[in-house]
Amino acid sequence: MAVNTVQTLTSSLSLAQSAAAGVSVVTVPYNNYNSDEYTNFAGALSKLNTVMPAPGNGTNATGDTPQEVLFLVTDGVDDTNVGGTRSYAINTANCTTIKNRGIRIAVLYTTYYPLPTNAWYNTYIKPLQANISPTLQGCATPGLFFEVSTGGDISAAMSALFQKAVTTAYLSK
């Protein structure tokens, strides 16, 4: 699993905000691409946990390092192949591990809309539907959860989430 860097480490908040505004939805290239098993949320969180450095306090004091904030943009549903079987889940188990390291998690939830006349949706996703938003809110650091609907401005939502993350920065001992 690859991890894409939107912006390398920078002390320029305007540069980071500009990069965050350029984040958009991944478009699956065609129907049944990768057997429609395109979202490995648990694997992504696990990989991200290994590549994110230990956070500092962000004080600019000698020897201190920047705070770390992980931004997630997701519909919240893991759709991947597990042991040869397609799996649908809301898997945020690694969120606690990441937050326990002192890394804050900002979540932009792209609303997963019900498809009540679709048999696949009714079988696999409907049983999860009511738990998607609350589970993602639990993954997010308090105050760093936003939801954006289809047709909404994802760039504006990401910018607002970024602003919230930098204005709610905190110092820890």
Element spanning 78, H or E? strand 78-82
154-167 vs 13-21: helix crossing angle, rounded to 10: 150
| 10-59 pLDDT, tens digit each | 778 788 888 877 776 666 676 766 666 667 777 788 888 888 888 887 77
What one-character DSSP code corresponds to residue 116? T
Nearest to 165 by CA among 25, 54, 68, 46: 68
- Give dist(CA 119, CA 16) in Å, integer: 42
Q: pLDDT band at residue 147, thresholds of 50, 70 and 90?
A: very high
- Give dist(CA 135, CA 144) in Å, integer: 13
- Give dist(CA 20, CA 140) in Å, integer: 17
In this prediction, what percent of the chain has a pLDDT beyond 90? 26
